[in-house]
Structures are given as structure tokens and as C-alpha cells.
Amino acid sequence: MNSIMLLSLLFIGISFLVSMRLKSKFTHYSHLPITNGMSGKEVAEQMLRDNGIYDVKVISVEGFLTDHYNPMNKTVNLSPEVYSGTSIASAAVAAHECGHAVQHATAYNWLMLRSRLVPFVQFSSSIVQWVLLAGIVLLNTFPMLLLGGIILFAITTVFSVITLPVEFDASNRALAWLENKRVLVSKEQEGAKDALKWAAMTYVVAALASVATLIQYVLIFLSGSRNDD
């Protein structure tokens, strides 16, 4: 149990550092206007049109770095700074979220798989910590409870891992479009790539933390099983 706590603290620290770096990068590139003066809203709408998508709305939502694509109501949701901003960060984030809209429109395999897992992840996330805790406490008397918790946690881990190709692909689509349509000049393009790289790192850290924690729980279960023998 102590090893899991230490592992959690380690990844919390790494996640915090990556998050701070992302915010720093976003702030930096938010102060660098793009040459053509397009706002995030305009970038998003243009990318959607260029990909033949006309049933997705671009709207503004409250918050900082709350940008996301909602496949349920087909909306690209941009934070105020991205929606109205005319910076490198605004263009990069807006295009990235539209990358998800393009994935949805083209039935991108990894996105479709991720979407199908959502109900299972929502259920698993609501009870997994309690099942794992009870499973560790009752390991010597009811080891199958911990195994059940491991299976629930594995679902969330698979979800985290599947998220990686979805996010990287969305960024690749965004950067390719920004370059091909010459929305950004060369130096601005490099900035957009840097900003999206750090955004992707947050998902990488989350996936690694989930995989490492899952392995720890499996080792605890196997150790308990050997002790029973």
C-alpha cells in the first residue's frame, strides 16, 4: 500500500510540473499574435469548412483551458481566451479541438473505441477506489474483491492509453491543416507545435501513472495469493 502511495505522490508531482509548464507555454504563446489576425473562432470555423463539416457549432465556454469537442451535441467548445484570441495558442488549440471534430466525422477508429468505453469508465470511476481499498483490507479473506477492483481500474487505464492516439492524431491533423492552409507562418507554426506538444504531455503522464498504478495493484494481488498458498 505504501508503494502505491509513493507512486501516486511521484506522478502527482510530475503531473503538477507538466501542468505548470503547459500553463506557462500557453501564457507565452497567448501573447504572440498571428500574422493573419484570425481569432480562434475563425480558425475553428475555417478548419471545419475545409473538412466539409457544416453541422458542428463553435461556441465559447467559461474557464481556463476548458477547450473540448463534444460529440454528443457536435460543438467545438473554446475558452474565452481561445475563442476571441488572435494568438498562436488560440489558433493551435482551436485547430486541435476541430481535429477531434474531423475524427468524429470520419469515424476515426481510436475515437470510436474511446467513445464506446465512456459508459464503462463512468461506472468504474465511481466505485473503483472503494473496491480497491476494501480489496486490500480484505485481501487475506476475500482476494477476489481486489481482483474485481483491478479489473475496474484496468478499464480506466485502457481508456487513458487509448486517449493518447486520439490526442496525438488531433494535434497532427491540426498542425497539418494550419501549415497546408498557411494559417501560420513558419515561426508561428513551430510555436503551435510546441504548445500542442506540452498539452499532449499531460495525457502521457496520466496514462503512465495509470499503468504504473495498475501494475502495483496486480503485484499486491499476486503477493497476497502467494501468501495464501
| Per-residue pLDDT tens over the stretch 70-110 | 999 999 999 999 999 999 999 999 999 999 999 999 999 99
Share of the chain above pLDDT 90, in %: 77
C-alpha count within 13 angstroms, C-beta hemisphere, residue 164:
13
**Containing H/E element for 76?**
strand 75-78
**Residue-wise pLDDT tens digits, 57-76:** 999 999 988 999 999 999 99
Note the helical H segments in 31-142.
40-50, 80-84, 88-105, 109-137
Whether the per-residue pLDDT at 228 is higher than 60: the answer is no
* The model's pTM: 0.88
In the chain, the number of structural domains is: 1
97 has catalytic annotation = yes
Cell (9 digits) for 207: 496514462
Output the pLDDT for position 125. 94
Residues in contact with 214: Cβ distance below 8 Å, sequence separation at least 6, in sequence order: 150, 153, 154, 157
| pLDDT at 229 > cutoff 70 | no
Question: From CA 168, how far away is CA 17, in angstroms rounded?
Answer: 20
The parent domain of residue 166 ranges over 2-228
pLDDT surpassing 70 at residue 1 = no
Query: Which residues does 28 contact at the CB level (< 8 Å), separation at least 6?
Result: 89
- Percentage of the chain modeled with pLDDT above 70: 96
| DSSP letter, residue 33 | B
Q: What is the mean pLDDT of the chain?
A: 92
Higher pLDDT, 65 or 184: 184
Catalytic member of 42, 45, 81, 97 = 97
